[in-house]
Amino acid sequence: MALKTLNRRNKKDLKWPKIIIAILSTIGIVDTGSITLKNWGLFTSLSCPGIQNGCETVLNSPWGTLFENNQVNIPLSLAGFITYLSILVITIILSLNLISPKEKLNKFLWWLVFLISCASSTFSFLLINIMFFKIQAYCFFCILSAILSFSIFIISMIGAKFESREPMIFRGFIVAISVLLGGLIWSTNVDPSIAIDVAGTTENVSPTITTSSSPQKVKFAKFLSENNIVMYSAYWCPHCHDQKQLFGKEAVKELKVVECAKDGKENKYELCQTKGISGFPSWEINGEIISGTLDLNDLASKTDYQGDLNF
């Protein structure tokens, strides 16, 4: 009789792991969603606790973007948003008991949560290493996302109550190795130290600016130059190209732009190192370094520009 009671308890679903995973994944959605909206320009600013401009430096580094061209910008944070959203949806389905036959699909959904969180944790581990050793800046939101991923991964092992450790270890190992290898390949491809010339020429120069400038933008660019406000850029940096596209080709000619890539044409690499430039683009405003692509109105506000803001 006691044995039957114990078996029923073991088979009974634990509620608290689902609740905690739902809470953690919701926090992850808010975290990565905010970063994504900031990247798309829907948030003008994002307050980041800790070292000044650390988040801007990390998020605007080459590792902050999965894919980008003139029409599409897919930040890495969007992948995190989709991951947390998937985990939340699966957890809700598990909690509402909408599945039938319950036991079989219940087990399958727990495997999904476990494997997704395993992949997310592995990739987060890789990103944290890139942040500390490559970018050498510290982003609170990125560290928070990594903590959330690891926490969900650990709790999923408790909530799933796998009958045997061997399949869990084997499948988790396969997923972790696959994600780690794929992540290393991706990281190497976007590493600026070995980046391929995006301009498609024999010289390492920035891509051609295709947008036109309004008179207001040209006047604003002249104001920035006259007030010794400098833009630090790298020829391979897509975010730098985006920043210049916001000004337009006529206005960019008026800006003070410093090339920081060591292999860039007419670069001032030593100056950039002296200034501590680690993310691109970066603006030097009254001795302060601000990293990230800035909306022109935001830049005007930071520089106390009093001219026509109808950009």
Q: What's residue 157's pLDDT? A: 93
pLDDT at 196: 42
pLDDT of residue 100: 57
Res 43: pLDDT: 66
Q: Where are the domains of the chain?
A: 11-194, 215-302
Per-residue pLDDT at 199 = 42
Measured from the Cβ of residue 118, the count of other Cβ atoms closer than 10 Å reads 23
Homologous superfamily of domain range 215-302: Glutaredoxin (3.40.30.10)
Distance CA(92)–CA(109), nearest Å, equals: 11
Write out pLDDT tens, residues 127-163: 999 998 887 778 889 999 999 999 999 999 999 888 8
Q: What residues in the chain have per-residue pLDDT under 50?
A: 1-10, 195-202
Q: Is the pTM of this model over 0.75?
A: no
Query: DSSP assignment of the chain, as one string?
Result: -HHHHHHHHHHSPPSHHHHHHHHHHHHHHHHHHHHHHHHTTSSS-----SSTTHHHHHHTSGGGEEEE-SS-EEEHHHHHHHHHHHHHHHHHHHHHT--SSHHHHHHHHHHHHHHHHHHHHHHHHHHHHHIIIII----HHHHHHHHHHHHHHHHHHHHHT-S-HHHHHHHHHHHHHHHHHHHHHHHHHH-GGG---TT-SSS--PPPP-S---HHHHHHHHHHHHTT-EEEE-TT-HHHHHHHHHH-HHHHTTSEEEE--TTSTT--HHHHHHHT--SSSEEEETTEEEES---HHHHHHHTT--S----
Of 16, 264, 280, give the one whose Cα is nearest residue 159.
16
User: What pLDDT is recorded for position 101?
Assistant: 53
Tell which CATH architecture fits domain 11-194.
Up-down Bundle (1.20)
pLDDT at position 8, please? 45
Task: For helices 165-190 and 102-130, give the axis angle rounded to 10 degrees.
Answer: 40
pLDDT of residue 206: 84
pLDDT on residue 6: 35
